[in-house]
């Protein structure tokens, strides 16, 4: 399998967020049906549906293209992605009204209020999550598709 390695890398990167997206959508719809909370579902979906999978795919392509020079392990390469994605997602979410910034906390989806101190801690765990997902899941898909 030596043809189109970048295409295979893109597909390998896209797989995981594409699988997770229905979970988020289901959770939001169930919440909407169960509690009747007026979530702006169509606004929330813009980032996970349009941007995130493409970014994951392109990030995996970038890893494939640069690994001979950088020798960066896939897990660490993936852990860099939140530094790019999270500001982008936050700016987009703010413009679409998905989050509102308060003096001491941030409110997501007009329902989940999180203090800034917890957000700092959560970012660290987000890096951990990205590291593990990229190392094991994307790494596995890359091996299956003959990239790594």
Partner 1 sequence: MNHDDRIKELLKQALPPVESGAEPERNLWPAVLRRLDEDTTLQRRTASFFVPWFDWALLGGLAVFAVSFPAMIPVFLYYL
> Quick check: helix, strand or coil at residue 113?
strand
To the nearest 10°, the Cα dihedral for 44, 48, 54, 60? 150
Binding of residue 83 to partner 1 (CB under 8 A): no
Q: Is 112 buried (19+), middle (13-18) or exposed (0-12) by CB count in 10 A?
A: exposed
Between 20 and 58, CB nearer to partner 1:
20
Least distance in Å: CB of 59 to partner 1?
13
Binding of residue 50 to partner 1 (CB under 8 A): no
Binding of residue 129 to partner 1 (CB under 8 A): yes
* Beta-carbon contacts of residue 99 (< 8 Å; ≥ 6 apart): 90, 93, 106, 107, 108, 109
Least distance in Å: CB of 69 to partner 1?
23
Q: How far apart are CA 112 and CA 43, in angstroms?
A: 16
- The residues of the shown chain that bind partner 1, judged by CB under 8 A, are 16-17, 20, 23-24, 27-28, 44, 47-48, 52, 82, 85-86, 89, 93, 98, 108-109, 112, 114, 118, 121-122, 125-126, 128-129, 131-132, 135-136, 140, 143-144, 146
């Amino acid at each position: 399998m030596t043809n189109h390695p970048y295409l295979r890398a893109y597909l390998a990167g896209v797989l995981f967020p594409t699988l997770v997206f229905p979970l988020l959508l289901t959770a939001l719809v169930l919440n909407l049906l169960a509690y009747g909370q007026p979530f702006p579902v169509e606004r929330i979906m813009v980032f996970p549906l349009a941007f995130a999978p493409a970014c994951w795919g392109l990030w995996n392509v970038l890893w494939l293209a640069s690994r001979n020079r950088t020798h960066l392990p896939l897990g660490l390469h993936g852990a860099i992605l939140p530094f790019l994605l999270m500001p982008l997602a936050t700016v987009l979410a703010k413009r679409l009204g998905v989050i509102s910034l308060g003096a001491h906390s941030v409110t997501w989806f007009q329902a989940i209020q999180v203090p800034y101190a917890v957000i700092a801690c959560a970012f660290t765990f987000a890096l951990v999550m990205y590291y593990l997902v990229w190392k094991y899941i994307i790494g596995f898909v890359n091996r299956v598709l003959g990239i790594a």
